[in-house]
């Protein structure tokens, strides 16, 4: 099941991108709104094994990157 | 011994006991002060130690970056890393954004930051170089032509070398531009073929139907990663990207 995802994951890594870059690029299809809910085309897949983990990872990263000014970790 | 001498002896004993007790108190106090002074000296040499000793809640101000914070799967960021990011915040030489794992749960300086990892996926590190080809002679395009009966005109191969089974062929619709050339854009992407190391093919359409060997979740995730992330890396091959 996961072969295709594992492979595309490797292709992305070969570009020299980090997950922050990817989160920026797919921010329009998965994001976190001001209430903390996942939004976007991919949001309904958040519970799917593996796929959901990737989606939530990018959503959280994108959410962190989307903040203006310094990122506060409290 | 008469009563007068006995009272005198009792008085001398009391003074002796008080004296000994006072000396013990002084020695104990001196020892505590020495230990405290030593600890303070060591803590000053090691900032991490001073942070741990204070047990204070701290809000980390990570250096602002024009790009997204970098998350690398598999790495662990310690509090000393975070602490350095804070203390070096005004250092003009510190142009690299701190690499931080998931960090929304750092409640105190003694709590370890959670490591992000995606179970089932390998560490997000470069294992080779990506190549792209639309040549009919490309081995992966030839394979899709032979096995799926698709004309090579609609196909573009994106694959990694060394061959670890990370090979993809993109199939596009029969929509053409003014010059009659097949339009290769995210909107015209029809299927994504994945070819593993054993040359087995699985197919993703990005839709609930038409997938072969992959579930819908994998299909749509791969579809979006290809259209939003991979294709924009090759603006000479694809249109309407980036």
Which among B64, B82, B127 has CB closest to A70? B64
> In this complex, is the C-beta atom of A44 within 8 Å of any C-beta atom belonging to chain B?
no
**B83 and chain A in contact, CB less than 8 A:** no
The answer to whether the CB of B218 falls within 8 A of the CB of A2 is yes
Contact state of B122 with A5 under an 8 Å Cβ cutoff: no
- Nearest to A8, CA basis, from B220, B75, B34: B220
Which is more confident, A19 or B177? B177
CA–CA dist B146, B188 (Å, integer): 22
Sort out which chain A residues have CB atoms less than 8 A from B224's CB and list them. 26, 29, 41-42
Tokens of B125: 């590190």
Tell me how far apart the alpha carbons of residues A63 and B170 are, in angstroms, rounded to a whole number.
Answer: 30
Give the pLDDT band (50/70/90) at residue A2.
low
What is the model's pLDDT at position B100?
30
B61 three-state secondary structure: strand
CB pairs under 8 A between A and B: 171
Phi-psi region of B213 (alpha: psi -120 to 50; beta: other; left: phi over 0): left
State ipTM.
Answer: 0.79
The pLDDT score that the predictor gives to residue B133 is 97
Q: What is the DSSP letter of B166?
A: -
Dihedral pair phi/psi, residue B149, rounded to 5°? 70, 25
Every domain of chain B and the residues it spans: 3-45, 129-233
The per-residue pLDDT string of chain B (242 residues; one tens digit each, 9 = 90 and over) reads 566 666 676 777 778 888 778 888 888 887 777 776 665 555 444 433 333 333 333 333 333 333 333 434 433 333 223 333 332 333 333 333 333 333 333 333 333 333 345 666 667 788 899 999 999 999 999 999 999 999 999 999 999 998 889 999 999 999 999 999 999 999 999 999 999 999 999 999 999 999 999 998 899 989 999 999 999 999 999 998 86
Crossing angle of helices B47-54/B79-87, nearest 10°?
A: 110
Q: Do residues B60 and A72 make contact, with C-beta atoms less than 8 angstroms apart? A: yes
Spell out which residues of chain B touch residue A24, defining contact as CB-CB under 8 Å. Answer: 67-68
Dist. CA B159–CA B167, nearest whole Å: 4
């Amino acid at each position: 099941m996961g072969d295709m995802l594992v492979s595309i994951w490797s292709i992305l890594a070969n570009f020299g991108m980090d997950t922050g870059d990817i989160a920026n690029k797919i921010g329009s299809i998965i994001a976190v709104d001001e209430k903390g809910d996942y939004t976007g085309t991919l949001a309904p897949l958040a519970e799917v094994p593996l796929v959901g983990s990737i989606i939530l990872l990018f959503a959280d990263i994108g959410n962190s990157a989307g903040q203006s000014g310094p990122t506060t970790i409290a | 011994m008469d009563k007068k001498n006995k009272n005198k002896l009792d008085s001398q004993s009391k003074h002796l006991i008080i004296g000994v007790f006072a000396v013990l108190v002084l020695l104990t106090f001196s020892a505590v002060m020495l230990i405290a002074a030593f600890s303070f000296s060591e803590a000053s040499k090691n900032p991490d130690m001073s942070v741990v000793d204070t047990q204070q809640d701290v809000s980390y101000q990570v250096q602002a970056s024009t790009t997204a914070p970098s998350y690398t799967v598999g790495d662990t960021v310690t509090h000393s890393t975070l602490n350095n990011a804070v203390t070096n915040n005004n250092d003009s030489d510190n142009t690299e954004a701190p690499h931080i794992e998931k960090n929304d749960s750092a409640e105190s300086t003694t709590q370890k930051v959670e490591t992000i990892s995606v179970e089932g996926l390998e560490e997000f590190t470069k294992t080779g170089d990506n190549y792209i080809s639309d040549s009919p002679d490309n081995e992966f395009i030839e394979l899709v032509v032979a096995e799926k009966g698709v004309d090579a005109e609609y196909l573009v191969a994106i694959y990694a070398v060394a061959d670890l089974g990370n090979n993809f062929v993109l199939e596009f619709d029969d929509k053409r531009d003014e010059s009659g050339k097949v339009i290769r854009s995210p909107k015209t992407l029809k299927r994504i073929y994945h070819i593993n190391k054993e040359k087995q093919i699985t197919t993703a359409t990005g839709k609930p139907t038409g997938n072969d060997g992959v579930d819908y979740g994998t299909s749509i995730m791969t579809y979006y990663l290809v259209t939003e992330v991979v294709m924009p890396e090759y603006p000479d091959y694809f249109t309407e990207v980036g």
